[in-house]
Amino acid sequence: MAPAERFAYAVARLRAMSGRLLEESLIQRILDCEDLDSALKILAETAYSAWLVELKGSGDFDRIIEAELSNAYTEVQKFVPDERLVQLCRIPYDFHNVKVLVKSAILVREGGERRYDLLTSLGNIPVEELVVAVESEDYRLLPFGLHRLLPLCLSQWEQTRDILQVENSLDAGLFSVLAEIAVATGFDSAVRWVKGRIDAENIRNLLRLKRLDLDIAGAASFLHEGGWIAGEKLLALLNEPVESWPRVLSFSDVSGVFANVPDLSDLGALIVEMERALDEYVSAILARAKYEAFTPENVIAYLWAKEMEAKNLRIALVAVANNTDRTIARGLLRHGR
Partner 1 sequence: MPRMSVNPNRMELSRLKKRLFVAKRGHKLLKDKQDALIKAFLERAREGKALREELEEELAACYKSFLLARAQTLPAMLEQALMISGAKCDLRVDYQNVMSVMVPVYSVDQHGSPHNYGLATSSGSLDLALERFAKLIPKLIELAAKEKAIRLMAYEIEKTRRRVNALEHVLIPDFIDTIRYITMKLDEQERSTLSRLMKIKEIVRSH
Indicate the residue among 115 and 233 with the shorter CB distance to partner 1: 115
CB neighbour class for 24 (10 Å; exposed up to 12, middle 13-18, buried from 19): middle
Are 334 and 23 within 8 A, CB to CB? no
Indicate the residue among 191 and 272 with the shorter CB distance to partner 1: 272
Give the span between the Cα atoms of 43 and 22, in whole angstroms.
Answer: 9
Indicate the residue among 16 and 159 with the shorter CB distance to partner 1: 159
66 near partner 1 (CB under 8 A): yes
Indicate the residue among 164 and 230 with the shorter CB distance to partner 1: 164
Site string for partner 1, 71-110 (x = CB under 8 A): ---------------------x--xx--xx--xx-xx---
62 near partner 1 (CB under 8 A): yes
Count of Cβ atoms closer than 10 Å to residue 56 Cβ: 7
335 near partner 1 (CB under 8 A): no
Sign of CA dihedral 106, 109, 112, 115: positive
Among residues 87, 168, 185, 298, which is the contact residue for partner 1, using CB under 8 A? 168
DSSP code of residue 23: P
Please tell me whether residue 63 adopts helix, strand or coil conformation: helix
Contacts to partner 1 from residues 239-278, by CB under 8 A: 268, 271-272, 274-275
Give the span between the Cα atoms of 166 and 157, in whole angstroms.
Answer: 7
DSSP code of residue 81: S
Are 238 and 219 within 8 A, CB to CB? yes
- How many residues bind partner 1 (CB under 8 A)? The answer is 47
Least separation, in Å, of the C-beta of 171 and partner 1?
Answer: 4
Indicate the residue among 63 and 147 with the shorter CB distance to partner 1: 63
* Cα 36 from chain centroid (whole Å): 26
Give the span between the Cα atoms of 188 and 318, in whole angstroms.
Answer: 37
152 near partner 1 (CB under 8 A): no
Q: What angle do CA 83, 127, 176 make, to 5 degrees?
A: 55
Indicate the residue among 2 and 176 with the shorter CB distance to partner 1: 176
The contact set with partner 1 (CB under 8 A) reads: 62, 66, 92, 95-96, 99-100, 103-104, 106-107, 115, 117-120, 163-164, 167-168, 170-171, 174-175, 201, 204-205, 207-208, 211-212, 222, 268, 271-272, 274-275, 311, 314-315, 318-319, 322, 324, 328-329, 332
